[in-house]
Amino acid sequence: MKPKRLSSILIMVMATLGFLYSCVGDGKTDYDTDENAARMQLFVEDISAYAKGINPDFIIIPQNGAELAYNYTDPDEGVNTDYIDAIDGFGIEELFYNADGVLDVNNDVLGILEDFVSSKKVMVSDYVPNDDARDSSIQMNKEEGFISFPRIKDSDKAKDNYDYKLIPSTPIADKYPPDNIITLVDAQNYLYLISTENFADKNAMLTAIEATNYDVVLIDLFFNGVPLTKDDIIQLKTKHDGGKRLVIAYVSIGSAENYRYYWKPGWRKGNPSWIKKDYEGYPDEYWVEYWNQEWQDIIYGNDDSYIKKIIDAGFDGAYLDNVEAYYFLGNN
C-alpha cells in the first residue's frame, strides 16, 4: 500500500491557495504550475517513503527542479520540509557551464543549492568544451562544496553527443585518497554513465566500471533492456582500490520512454491519456501526467514497479530524473 499522509492534503490546499492568491494579485493565474509542482513534491515524497520503508538507507536524489525545495517553488514562501526530508541530495545539470559548453553560471539555482549544501549532497554535471573548462568546472564546484561530473563535448559531433556514455580517461576519482563510502555524504566524486552503447556487452561495462575508483556510480537499471542482477551490483560496489562505494540507479519519473519494459503496444502520445507531450530533442520520450495512478503504479508501490526492481537488484538508491516535468506541463 502507498502511504497516505496529512502532508498530501496540506500540499493540495497550498496549491489551491496559491491559485486564489495569484488571481487576486494580478488578474492572471499560474494555478496549473503551482498545482503540478505540489504534485511532483508529493510524488517524490511518496517514492521516498515507499523505498525507505523497504530499505531505510535507500538514497533518493532528484535531478534538476531544485526549486521544489520550497513551497510554491519560491524561496520567499519557505522550505518544503516534507520534500527536503524525503531526499538525500540534489542532482543538477548546467550549473556553471550550459548546454552549449559556455561558462554561464545559473545564479538562481546556485543560490538554492547554497541553502542546502550543508545538509544535502549536491551532484553537478556541467557541459564543458575542453579539458581547461573541465578543470574549471571541477574547481568551481569544489569551492561550493559540490561534487561534479563534467562532460566534455566531442567537437566533431552535435550538442546531444554530451551523452553520459563515457568513463573519462583521466578520472576525477583518482585525485582522491582511497576511502570507504558508506553514505552519500561521504562521497567526493561520482561517475554518471547511463548509456551503454560504448560497451560490447554487459560484462565489458561491469569490468570497465569495476576498474575505477569513483565513490558513487550512477547507472541505468538495464543493459540493453535486461535488468542488472544483484550479483552485478555487488560486483560494482567495490572500487578498484578495494574501498566500498555506492551504486545508484537512474529512473525517469516525469517522462515515459518507449523502449522501457512498461511500454505497451499501441501506446503513443494521448494513449493512454496521461502521455501528454513530446519531449523536445528526445523522440522516444514523452512528458506524462505523473500524478496519474497508472503511471505512479509503474514507478513505485508494488512488486512490479520500477523502484522495487531497483531495490531488488541491490542498488543503494535511485536518481529521479525529469522532476521538472511540473514546469513543462504547466498551463496545459
Domains of the chain, by residue range, sit at 6-328
pLDDT at 163: 62
- pLDDT per position as a tens digit, 255-287: 999 999 999 999 999 999 999 999 999 999 999
Asked whether 160 and 166 are in contact (CB, 8 A), the reply is no
Distance CA 45, CA 83 (A): 6
For residue 176, pLDDT over 50 is answered with yes
- pLDDT per position as a tens digit, 22-42: 333 333 334 478 899 999 999
> Which of 310, 308, 194, 324 has the alpha carbon at shortest distance from 259?
194
For residue 159, pLDDT over 70 is answered with no
* β partners of residue 223: 226
pLDDT band for position 154 (cuts 50, 70, 90): low
Query: What is the average pLDDT score of the chain?
Result: 88
- pLDDT per position as a tens digit, 35-85: 999 999 999 999 999 999 999 999 999 999 999 999 999 999 999 999 999
Instruction: Give the Å distances, CA to CA, from 134 to 153, 170, 177.
Output: 10, 11, 20
Distance CA 322, CA 319 (A): 10
Task: Tell me the average pLDDT across 102-124.
Answer: 97
CATH topology of domain 6-328: TIM Barrel (3.20.20)
Give φ, ψ of 323 to 5 degrees.
-65, -20
Distance CA 118, CA 114 (A): 8
